[in-house]
Structure 1
């Protein structure tokens, strides 16, 4: 573990050296700061780059801490509203003595859950959250695959795969082999915010770092990306239901 001092703050970070990297990449998530660097990069050079990015790193760490502390948990009780693509839909829970397994569906603007009679209200969340997530991931995958084409046409490059994942620490990511991974929770946000995350990860197909070229590419895909990024910074915590 390495660290820098920035003002009154100590920022710890880990380093992973890679033969495939040509530039230093910094990643910040709820678990901390990680650096991926070219195999020949010195510790001092990496430290200088981390220091140069310290203001951004500190803001990102604050953001993830804010999301963790302010997250709101749904109890999945009848009458609650559940989000999908920026809209809120009411949940109706029904109990039935003749079933042994819970079910979950969406019909005519309402989420419906059918539960065995013995399931208590305290057990609703643990029982229904996985089914809600499964519905979001299945529905969202089709939405994302359709939505992403508006950006790949401009970018003139396609990802090798698109996957909806349960990512606790990121809204999305782009792997070295060109896979775009999307956190299922972003599908609870308005479509414009989903677009921002999609475009952000697609821009990484060309530039794996956050260089000027990367932001220029993102700006070409979405002109007002800064506004959408700010919305996610402020409101991202509400997507952790």
Structure 2
């Protein structure tokens, strides 16, 4: 195991040399940092690249660490943290007279307004649907922006992107070219959302899981297998 020092933080990484690899690849998952390098690239150059990307690597490691915490059913009480895009944001509840329940994101935290007479045991029943609705709206806009990086390579675009409740799938692609996404995937880090997006977009070209499909997915996202494994291990935590 190799390592570099970023400030006071030691970043350990696993280095693999490959005769097939033409460029340097750096990936981060729940198990750590992984580098695949062509044989001819010297270690000094590899570590110089790692140092340039150190802040990104640390952020990814922190995101995975946060998401690896065991899932706990939220009560939607003031001070509790709610997930979005792999991070946790604190919920602040303001009780008011004669007000309709509302939910929004404001200055780095979630803010909810509730009538004074709502007991704490009813918070989840009222606020969880509002949170999910907020998440769906933000997820739709987020998806359209993230998809662009893949559609340029694929030269295909989905007809529609729909964020919905899906019990068994993180996403799906219809024969008519619509991409359906489970709102829960937007609780995960962006790198994992990208995997689900790329996975479904590849079906626009191959509506199956043939060899050609996996080659298309690898073209869109070379390290998709590591992201797929993260989702397999941590998918159960993506809920509220």
CA positional deviation for 1:121: 1.1
Q: Distance in 1 between matches of 2:216 and 2:172?
A: 16
> Match of 2:90?
90
CA positional deviation for 1:167: 1.2
Structural RMSD (CA): 1.1
> Match of 1:159?
158
Q: Distance in 1 between matches of 2:238 and 2:92?
A: 20
Given the two structures, how large is their TM-score scaled by the length of structure 1? 0.69
Alignment partner of 1:77 is 2:113 = no
CA positional deviation for 1:72: 3.1
Per-residue Cα deviation, 1:145-166 (whole angstroms, up to 9, x for no partner)? 0110100110011111111111
Per-residue Cα deviation, 1:189-211 (whole angstroms, up to 9, x for no partner)? 10000000000000111111111
CA positional deviation for 1:71: 5.3
Alignment partner of 1:147 is 2:130 = no
> Match of 2:181?
182
- Bigger mean CA offset, 207-216 vs 193-202: 207-216
Matched residue of 1:198: which SS? helix
Alignment partner of 1:228 is 2:227 = yes
After TM superposition, where is structure 1 displaced by more than 6 Å over at least 4 residues in a row? none
Matched residue of 2:118: which SS? coil
Matched residue of 1:112: which SS? strand
> Match of 1:8?
none
Gaps of 5+ in 2: 1-69
- Give the conservation status (yes or no) of the 8 Å contact 2:94–2:112: yes
Given the two structures, how large is their TM-score scaled by the length of structure 2? 0.69
Q: Distance in 1 between matches of 2:87 and 2:180?
A: 23
> Match of 1:118?
117
Matched residue of 2:156: which SS? coil
- Give the conservation status (yes or no) of the 8 Å contact 2:187–2:239: no
Per-residue Cα deviation, 1:53-89 (whole angstroms, up to 9, x for no partner)? xxxxxxxxxxxxxxxxx85311111111111111110
Per-residue Cα deviation, 1:4-36 (whole angstroms, up to 9, x for no partner)? xxxxxxxxxxxxxxxxxxxxxxxxxxxxxxxxx
